[in-house]
Amino acid sequence: MSLVYWILILNLWVFKASSLQAGSRAVLREIADNNGSGNDPKDYAVELNATNFDAVLKDTPATYALVEFFAHWCPACRNYKPHYEKVARLFNGPNAVHPGIVLMTRVDCALKINTKLCDKFSVGHYPMLFWGPPTKFSAGWSSDQAKSKLRVIDDGRTAERLLNWINKQIGSSYGLDDENFENEHLSPNISDPGQIARAVYDVEEATATAFDIILEHKMIKSGTRASLIKFLQLLAAHHPSRRCRKGSAEVLVNFDDLCPLDMWSSAGHDVDTTNMVGVLHNFHICGKDVPRGYWMFCRGSRNDTRGFSCGLWVLMHSLSVRIEDGESQSTFTSVCDFIHNFFICEECRQHFYEMCSSVKSPFKTARDFALWLWSAHNEVNERLMKEEASLQTGDPKFPKIIWPPKQLCPSCQDKGSSQIEWNRDEVYKFLISYYRNTLVSLYKEKGLLAEDGTNVFLDESSTNAVAVPVGAALAIALASCAFGALACYWRSQQKSRKYFHQLHSLKNI
Say if CB 276 and CB 259 are below 8 A apart. Answer: yes
CA atoms of 399 and 188, how far apart (whole Å): 9
Amino acid at 398: F
CA atoms of 214 and 199, how far apart (whole Å): 22
- CA-CA-CA-CA torsion for 398, 346, 180, 135, nearest 10 degrees? -80
Q: How are beta strands 64-70 and 102-108 bridged, if at all?
A: parallel
Identify which of 67, 31, 36 has the alpha carbon closest to the alpha carbon of residue 50. Answer: 67
Start-to-end CA distance of the chain, whole Å, equals 83
C-alpha separations of 131 from 107, 137, 462, 465 in Å:
14, 9, 52, 47
Q: Is 481 a catalytic residue?
A: no
Say if CB 127 and CB 74 are below 8 A apart. Answer: yes
Identify which of 43, 58, 36 has the alpha carbon closest to the alpha carbon of residue 139. Answer: 58
CA atoms of 269 and 210, how far apart (whole Å): 23
Strands lying side by side in the sheet with 151-153: 46-48, 102-108, 64-70, 128-132, 151-153
SS3 129: strand
Q: What are the residue ranges of helices labelled H in 61-107?
A: 75-91
Say if CB 66 and CB 129 are below 8 A apart. Answer: yes
CA atoms of 310 and 304, how far apart (whole Å): 12
C-alpha separations of 30 from 26, 40, 230, 247, 493 in Å:
6, 15, 50, 41, 50
CA atoms of 259 and 286, how far apart (whole Å): 20
Amino acid at 190: I
Identify which of 249, 297, 248 has the alpha carbon closest to the alpha carbon of residue 439. Answer: 297
Q: Is 118 a catalytic residue?
A: no
Element (H, E) at 348: helix 346-357
Output b/e per residue, 405-418; b: 16+ Cβ within 10 A: eeebbeebbeeeee
Q: Which of 77, 286, 310, 412 is catalytic?
A: 77
CA atoms of 392 and 399, how far apart (whole Å): 11
**396-429-305 Cα angle (round to 5):** 20
CA atoms of 239 and 435, how far apart (whole Å): 11
Cis status, amide bond into 404, omega within 30 of 0: yes
Active-site residues: which are they? 74, 77
